Structure 1
Amino acid sequence: MWHDNETQKDFVNFTAVAKTVSTLIQKSGSEPLSIGVCGGWGIGKSSMVSLIHQELKNSEDDYLFIEFNAWLYQGFDDARASLMEAIARPLLKKAEGNESAMEKAKGFLKRVNWVRSAGVVAGTAASLSLGLPPVGLLGEIWKAGQGIADGDITEDDFEAAQQAAKKGAETGKKLLKPKEKKSPPEEIDHLRELFKQTLKALDVKLVVLVDDLDRCLPEVAISTLEAMRLFLFMENTSFIIAADDTMIRQAVRSHFGKIEIDDDLVTNYFDKLIQIPVRVPPLGTQEVRAFLFLLFVSRSNLPEEKKEEVRQSVCGRLSESWQGNSVDQKYIESVIGNCPEELSSEFELATRIAPLMTTSEKIRGNPRLIKRFLNTLSIRLAIAKSQEVSVDEAALAKMLLFERCGNQTLYATLVRAINESEDGKPEFLADLEKEARTGKPILDDEWSDEFSRQWLSLSPQFADLDLRGVVYASKDYLPIVSSGDHLSPEAVQVLETLLSSKPKGASKVLADELKILPKRERVLITEKVLSRARSEQKWGTPPALYHLLTLIKADGELEVPISRFFKNLLGVQIDASIVPTLSSLQLAKKEIFPEWLNKDISTPVKKAIEVETT
Structure 2
Amino acid sequence: MEVTLVVFIDDLDRCLPSTSIATLEAIRLFLFLPNTAFIIAADDRMIRQAVRAHFHGTELDDDLVTNYFDKLIQVPLRVPPLGTQDVRAYMMLLYVENSSLADDEKERTRSAVCKQLSESWKGRRVDARFMKETIPSCPNDLKSNLDLADRLAPLMSTAKQIAGNPRLIKRFLNTLSIRMSLACSQGVPVEETALAKMLLFERCADEAAYSKLLSKVNESEAGNPAFLADWEKKAVSGEGPKELPSPWNSDFIRDWLALEPSLADMDLRAILYVSREHMPIIAPSDRLSPEATGILEALIGLTRKSSSLSEQIRLLSEKKDVSLIMDRLLVRARRENLWGTPNVLFAILTVIDADASHAAKFGDFLARISVEQLNATIVPRIGNYGWAGMVFEKWKGNPATPGRVVKAIDNLGNTIL
Shorter-chain TM range is: 0.5 to 0.7
Q: Partner of 1:127 in structure 2?
A: none
Aligned match of 2:352: none
CA deviation profile, 1:95-132 (whole Å, cap 9, x unmatched): xxxxxxxxxxxxxxxxxxxxxxxxxxxxxxxxxxxxxx
| 2:231 maps to 1:462 | no
Q: Which residue pairs with 1:444 in the alignment?
A: 244
Superposition TM-score, scaled by structure 1 size: 0.44
Task: Look up the equivalent residue of 2:244 and give its one-letter code.
Answer: D
Shift of 1:457: 0.7
Q: Could you tell me how far apart the structure 2 residues matched to 1:262 and 1:413 are? A: 43
- Residues in 1 aligned to 2:257 and 2:240: alpha-carbon distance in whole angstroms: 13
Q: Which residue of 2 aligns with 1:391?
A: 190
Query: Equivalent residue for 2:254?
Result: 453
- The offset of 1:476, in angstroms, is 3.1
Number of residue pairs aligned between Structure 1 and Structure 2: 278
Tell me whether 1:236 sits opposite 2:35 in the alignment: yes
Distance 2:249 2:238 in 1: 12
Shift of 1:422: 1.9
For residue 444 of structure 1, report the CA deviation from its aligned partner. 2.9
How many Å separate the matches in 1 of 2:126 and 2:91? 11
For residues 310 and 454 of structure 1, the distance between their equivalents in structure 2, rounded to whole angstroms, comes to: 30
Aligned to 1:378: 177
Secondary structure, aligned partner of 2:225: coil
TM-superposed deviation, 1:441: 3.8
Query: SS in structure 2 opposite 1:207?
Result: strand
**Residues 240, 220 of structure 1: alpha-carbon distance in 2 compared, 3 angstrom cutoff:** same
Residue 262 of structure 2: SS of its match in structure 1? coil
Distance in 2 between residues matched to 1:477 and 1:365, nearest whole Å: 27
- Alpha-carbon distance in structure 1 between the residues aligned to 2:224 and 2:278: 20
Given candidates 310, 314, 326, the residue that maps to 2:109 is: 310
| 3-state secondary structure, aligned to 1:445 | coil
Structure 2: distance between partners of 1:266 and 1:444 = 43
* Alignment match, 1:44: none
Q: What does residue 359 of structure 1 align with?
A: 158
Q: Secondary structure at the match of 1:292?
A: helix
Shift in alpha-carbon separation, 1:433–1:478, aligned structure 2, 3 A: farther
> Between the two proteins, what is the percent identity of the paired residues?
59
Query: Matched residue of 2:76: which SS?
Result: strand
Whether 1:432 aligns to 2:243 is: no
Distance 1:239 1:478 in 2: 43
Equivalent residue letter for 1:293: M
| Residue segments in structure 1 that go unaligned for 5+ positions in a row | 1-199, 480-614
Distance 1:394 1:416 in 2: 21
Equivalent positions of 1:84-483 (< 5 A) are: 200=1, 203-442=2-241, 443-446=243-246, 447-476=248-277
Q: Distance in 1 between matches of 2:215 and 2:173?
A: 25
1:247 maps to amino acid: M
For 2:124 and 2:30, the matched residues in 1 are separated by 45
Task: Within 5 Å, give how 1:587-598 maps onto structure 2.
Answer: none
Determine helix, strand or coil for the equivalent of 2:81: coil
Question: Per-residue deviation at 1:478?
Answer: 8.4
TM-score, with length taken from structure 2: 0.65
For residue 448 of structure 1, report the CA deviation from its aligned partner. 3.1
Q: Is the 8 A contact 2:231 2:240 kept in 1?
A: no
Q: CA RMSD in A?
A: 1.5
d(CA) in 1 for partners of 2:212, 2:245: 15
- The gaps in structure 2 that reach 5 residues or longer are 281-417
| Cross-structure match for 2:366 | none
Offset, 1:439 = 2.6
1:279 and 1:316 map into 2 onto residues whose CA distance is 23
Question: Does the 8 A contact of 2:240 with 2:254 survive in 1?
Answer: no
Q: Which amino acid aligns with 1:444?
A: L
Shift of 1:364: 0.2
Residue deviations 1:275-312, cap 9 Å, x none?
A: 11111121000000000000000000101011011111
Deviation of the 1:249 alpha carbon: 1.2
Deviations 1:436-464 (A, max 9, x none): 12233425323332100110111000011
Quick one: distance in 2 between partners of 1:210 and 1:444?
Answer: 47
* AA partner of residue 475 (structure 1): R
Q: Give a deviation string over 1:538-597, Cα, whole Å, max 9, x none.
A: xxxxxxxxxxxxxxxxxxxxxxxxxxxxxxxxxxxxxxxxxxxxxxxxxxxxxxxxxxxx
Farther-moved stretch of structure 1 (249-258 vs 393-402): 249-258
Per-residue CA distance 1:140-169 (angstroms, 9 max, x = gap): xxxxxxxxxxxxxxxxxxxxxxxxxxxxxx
Structure index of larger Rg: 1
